[in-house]
Chains A and B, each alone.
Chain A
Amino acid sequence: MNSEKSLTWEFLKNVAETLDSFRIRALIDGKDDILKAGIYTEDQYHALFFDMFDLEQLKYELLTFLKKKSESNLKDLKTFITTKKVDLKTVLTLLALLKNERLVSIEEINEQIDTDNENLTFNKLIDFNIKVNSIFPGKTVYEPIQVIFDAKICSGCGMCAGICPVNCIEIINGIGKVDDNLCIRCGLCYYICPRTFLPTTSMHMTQMHSNKIEDHGQLGSYIDIFSARTKISDIKSVCQDGGITSSCIYYLFNSKQIDSALGAKMSEDPWRPMPFLLGSKEDVISSAGTKYVNNPNLSLLNDKSLINGNFAIVGVPCHMQALLKSKLYNFQFPSQNNVIYRLGIFCMESFSYEDGFLKICNLVDVNVSNVSKTDINKGKFFIYTNDGNEFSVPIKEITHLARPDCEVCYDLTSESSDISIGSIGSPSGWNTVIIRTPEGKKLYDELIANDIIESVNFNDVKPGLSMLQKIARSKKVKCQKHLDEKRKENHRFPSY
């Protein structure tokens, strides 16, 4: 506890400003509704509230600091960092928030860097030019999450539904729906949505536990990269490629590191996935295999049983982005501290069920209930049927059936996960595994030590790294193109 003597008037003023923030106000006024909805207990509500308050207060401190000068740059930020004893990551995170709330405008000064291999160029962030906007009186304006749904850039990850304190959001067919009668307009969903704004620089920094602004090229930050496949025969028979994701979860259940895992399995409709809470290693077998239809996994985050034990989450890049964002903004949803592993899956694009997957099936004239496996490989979408037939469509012909929001996703390789797993770059029957964090490395080492997987150096396999980088880059370029288009036409777009 601070001593009262060290308080300053500026501090009190700051507290007053923070109390005026709509997010804080909504949480105070909505307390009764929140507790009644039963998602958060009183203690959890207070944990959420005070962490949020602290961050919001720091945000206003930063704003006050920036207001002193007409223009600030990275050097000024460093002064703020030393006086307040916070780290650069947090400040960058807050800047992204301030920018989104249109309280400041930020111009990034980039340096073009040429890397040696295959003319890949990328921008390196070296400085900022920050101006405080004078048009807005320093108050944030509430913007409903509905704008994201309406602009069709919602990724359907389900984060908003999973954290909503009054449980008023539902994800139907991959797009959210808000129950206006229940909504308390706290704006938490907007705050945590990966498609509103995403502080990518500080996300990389969290991943690497570093405090420097670095650029991480096409694949995001990673420690190591391997090609691997499972040795468990049960998984081998049901898995998509190398079975690494299933093996990870299988091992974690076996070694009692997790009590549950969040993933997807097929629902009663053939090939329509649904969020699924895995409770044992037997569930792993039933949920193995890739589903190309998107799925709001994270909407199960409010499940009560998650509070009592550790769990792992399996998801595509948008799930991982949402999770890391919530961690960065110190957002204490009840089970936040119980997430111990985040397993990301590579994703180029996903399909919605009615408008995507069923149409593909129509294209090749297959009854959906007859499909035994789907796969994307060598530029083609393959459908295998129960009677042993194989059908394929070139990806180019079905890209227009993909979800529109996938156009604005920059992330192929789940850059925000602990371990990313996919098939691109590895030979058939193998997985490409990207180890991104120390936690991920620990898990991978354990898998090898327990003889669950076989692993080879990624440099020794064909097509290997260059292929993966090329595809990751093509997704980034495509995303940038769509973002520019949306900017030009004045449509809503996510700010990365």
Chain B
Amino acid sequence: MDSFLKGADGVAIISCHEGECDYGRANMNTNKHVIFIRRLFNHLGIDEDRIQQYFCAAAEVEKFVTSVEDITSKIRSLPPLPKNKINPK
């Protein structure tokens, strides 16, 4: 949510595949949160595509690129979110 407050129009979270996380199950815990935030966005009337999680291993360069392209194209098609004009951090 902080990123959105600081002016981001979308957030992509790129993590390892399930079971390959260096930090235990951190990627899947994040996944739970992402699924949850998407549901919440739906409830609040914000487009749920603004936040997305992609699973790419460190070696999967192509998948990384397509992921980034995927989210940028999705977000370009959406109107910009309001920004804090008074106090941009």
Which of B4, B40, B78, B84: most chain A Cβ within 10 A? B40
CB-CB < 8 A to A19: which residues of B?
1, 40
Contact with B along A1-34 (1 / 0, CB 8 A): 1111101110111011001000000001001000
CB atoms of B82 and A7 under 8 A apart: yes
Q: How many angstroms between the C-alpha atoms of A28 and B46 in the bound complex?
A: 19
CB-CB < 8 A to A8: which residues of B?
82
CB-CB < 8 A to B46: which residues of A?
4, 7
Q: Is B2 an interface residue (CB 8 A)?
A: yes
CB atoms of B45 and A3 under 8 A apart: yes
Given A2-B45, A19-B1, check contact A12 B40 (CB 8 Å). Answer: no
Given A9-B84, A50-B43, A53-B43, check contact A4 B5 (CB 8 Å). Answer: no
Which of A5, A8, A12, A13: most chain B Cβ within 10 A? A12
| Nearest B-chain residue to A7, judged by Cβ | B82
Q: How far is the CB of A119 from chain B (nearest CB, A)?
A: 54
Q: How far is the CB of B61 from chain A (nearest CB, A)?
A: 33
Q: Is B81 an interface residue (CB 8 A)?
A: yes
Q: How far is the CB of A60 from chain B (nearest CB, A)?
A: 13
Which of B1, B32, B78, B79: most chain A Cβ within 10 A? B1
The size of the chain B interface, using a CB distance under 8 A, is 21
CB-CB < 8 A to A12: which residues of B?
1, 4-5, 81-82
8 Å CB contact of B44 from A13, A15, A28, A31: A15
Q: How many angstroms between the C-alpha atoms of A3 and B45 in the bound complex?
A: 6
Given A15-B44, A28-B33, A53-B40, check contact A4 B79 (CB 8 Å). Answer: yes
CB atoms of A15 and B45 under 8 A apart: no
Q: How many angstroms between the C-alpha atoms of A9 and B1 in the bound complex?
A: 12
8 Å CB contact of A2 from B1, B33, B44: B44
CB atoms of B81 and A7 under 8 A apart: yes
8 Å CB contact of A4 from B32, B39, B78, B84: B78
CB-CB < 8 A to A50: which residues of B?
40, 43
58-89 of chain B: CB within 8 A of chain A: 78-79, 81-85
| Nearest B-chain residue to A5, judged by Cβ | B79
8 Å CB contact of B45 from A4, A31, A46, A53: A4
CB atoms of A16 and B44 under 8 A apart: no
Q: How many angstroms between the C-alpha atoms of A7 and B39 in the bound complex?
A: 17
CB-CB < 8 A to B81: which residues of A?
4, 7, 12
| Nearest A-chain residue to B47, judged by Cβ | A4
Q: How many angstroms between the C-alpha atoms of A116 and B6 in the bound complex?
A: 62
| Nearest A-chain residue to B29, judged by Cβ | A29
CB-CB < 8 A to B1: which residues of A?
12, 15-16, 19
1-47 of chain B: CB within 8 A of chain A: 1-2, 4-5, 32-33, 36, 39-40, 43-47
CB-CB < 8 A to B4: which residues of A?
12, 16
| Nearest B-chain residue to A17, judged by Cβ | B1
| Nearest A-chain residue to B43, judged by Cβ | A50
Q: How many angstroms between the C-alpha atoms of A50 and B44 in the bound complex?
A: 10
Q: How many angstroms between the C-alpha atoms of A50 and B39 in the bound complex?
A: 10
8 Å CB contact of B2 from A2, A5, A7, A16: A16
CB atoms of A9 and B82 under 8 A apart: yes
CB atoms of A9 and B83 under 8 A apart: yes
Q: How far is the CB of B9 from chain A (nearest CB, A)?
A: 10
CB-CB < 8 A to A46: which residues of B?
39
Q: How many angstroms between the C-alpha atoms of A31 and B32 in the bound complex?
A: 10
Which of A13, A15, A19: most chain B Cβ within 10 A? A15
Q: How far is the CB of B5 from chain A (nearest CB, A)?
A: 6
Which of B45, B47, B85: most chain A Cβ within 10 A? B45
Q: How far is the CB of B85 from chain A (nearest CB, A)?
A: 8
Q: How many angstroms between the C-alpha atoms of A28 and B36 in the bound complex?
A: 8
Q: How many angstroms between the C-alpha atoms of A12 and B1 in the bound complex?
A: 8
Q: How many angstroms between the C-alpha atoms of A234 and B33 in the bound complex?
A: 58
Q: How many angstroms between the C-alpha atoms of A12 and B78 in the bound complex?
A: 17
24-83 of chain A: CB within 8 A of chain B: 28, 31, 46, 50, 53
Q: How far is the CB of A34 from chain B (nearest CB, A)?
A: 13
Interface residues of A (CB under 8 A from B): 1-5, 7-9, 11-13, 15-16, 19, 28, 31, 46, 50, 53
* Sampled A-B contacts (23; CB under 8 Å): A2-B44, A2-B45, A4-B45, A4-B46, A4-B78, A4-B81, A5-B79, A9-B5, A9-B82, A9-B83, A11-B82, A12-B4, A12-B5, A12-B81, A15-B44, A16-B4, A19-B1, A19-B40, A31-B32, A50-B40, A50-B43, A53-B40, A53-B43
Kindly list the 4 A-B residue pairs having the minimum CB-CB distance in the complex, ordered from nearest. Answer: A2-B45, A16-B1, A9-B82, A9-B84
